[in-house]
Structure 1
């Protein structure tokens, strides 16, 4: 029997690499060189937990309690819109990397923001719990091998994204770069907020 690890890895990467609020935030923190390891760690642990729930068969709960996702959706819309406004405001006063680090956010604030971008996003539950969980269970006895591939995909992606952005931060040490980053992150957050707001009730 062919191992389910590779399909799990490919599927996990295909779902997680898509541009989203979480990835945009990891990229921003990497460029800022601000608590990157903590941000990456939270994203990986959260993904592993959610994929594990789906593989264990908890996905049926979301199917049967749809108001949970709808509640997360509207809280997520408000949070993303607020973060977009802050990003646009920051773009009006661009600064260098050194100046940005001088005003770096607290560890607690970064942790809370990372948790919000992960756990207030209904797409995280749809992708990790329902889609990956259902695909994993289709592999029967190898469902945890499939999940292991998806876990690995999460580790590879978030580590590469955070480390890559951090490595490039010295090259991108200009006010113009900060303006582009802040505007770009703000647009991504606003776009996803609008998408969530227009999404049909689940």
Structure 2
């Protein structure tokens, strides 16, 4: 009887850890940031959606894994790393925001309206920059998720991490493929221009938030 109760308790702890990890990870990436805005744009264009979502989710999985296993040692070894990442990420956001605003100013959306966008590798390179040059990604995955995971002892800690990783895959693939539901209203250059203006301003706002 005691063995059965102990087994049930461990099963509950593991399930609870997974659910908590999933909920925590989903909540942290739910806000529309630079990476999410890019995924939405590509989803609307129906361009390289699978590989883009896979890259974003896999990147999150790697960062979450490092966070759960321990990120503090890395910061201790490289104390200037957060500052370097902050200014590098801000510079990239400013540049990409300017690119989107320039595209809106030019108003040439023949490729998008024809269903053609940038090639796969440039698209993935841009997505990788949004991921790995964003200090908030490290704060969320390495810092917060890593810190919360310490509330659990192994193996529940690793199950918590698995829940957070699962949430990233569910979120990004839902965002990428769900965005095409808005495709019917993106059939004009005016709609694409409005989207680029919004994305450009969001990028600049995020850059300002980083450096301030």
Please give the TM-score of this superposition, normalised by the length of structure 1.
Answer: 0.91
Once the two structures are superposed, residues 91-119 of structure 1 have per-residue CA deviations (whole angstroms, 9 ceiling, x without a partner) of 121536754633x2121211110100000
Shift of 1:62: 2.2
1:1-202 alignment, distance < 5 Å:
1=9, 2=13, 3-92=16-105, 93=107, 95=109, 98-99=112-113, 101-102=115-116, 104-141=117-154, 142-198=156-212
What is the root-mean-square deviation in Å for CA atoms of aligned residues?
Answer: 1.6
DSSP-derived class of the 1:140 partner? coil
- Does structure 1 conserve the Cα–Cα contact (< 8 Å) formed by 2:185 and 2:191? no
Conserved in 1, the CA contact under 8 Å of 2:113 and 2:188? no
**Does the Cα contact within 8 Å between 1:30 and 1:163 map onto a contact in 2?**
yes
Q: In structure 2, do the counterparts of structure 1 residues 40 and 110 end up closer, same or farther at CA, with 3 Å as the change threshold? A: same
- Counterparts of 1:178 and 1:100, CA distance in 2: 12
Task: Choose 112-121 or 170-179, whichever is displaced more.
Answer: 170-179
Secondary structure of 1:101's counterpart equals coil
Gaps of 5+ in 1: none
Matches of 2:21 and 2:181 in 1, distance apart?
29
How many residues end up aligned between the 2 structures?
A: 197
1:197 and 1:98, CA in 2 relative to 1: closer, same or farther beyond 3 A?
closer
Larger Rg: 2
Quote how far apart the aligned CAs of 1:174 are: 1.7
Q: Distance in 2 between matches of 1:100 and 1:68?
A: 43
Deviation at 1:166, TM superposition (A): 2.4
Q: TM-score, normalised by structure 2?
A: 0.87
Give the gaps of 5 or more residues in structure 2.
1-8
The answer to whether the Cα contact below 8 Å between 1:42 and 1:115 also exists between their aligned partners in 2 is: yes
54-63 or 188-197: bigger deviation: 54-63
Runs of 4+ in 1 over 6 A off after TM superposition: none
CA distance in 1, matches of 2:70, 2:99: 39
Mapped contact 1:59–1:133 kept (Cα < 8 A): no
CA shift, 1:128, in A, is: 0.1
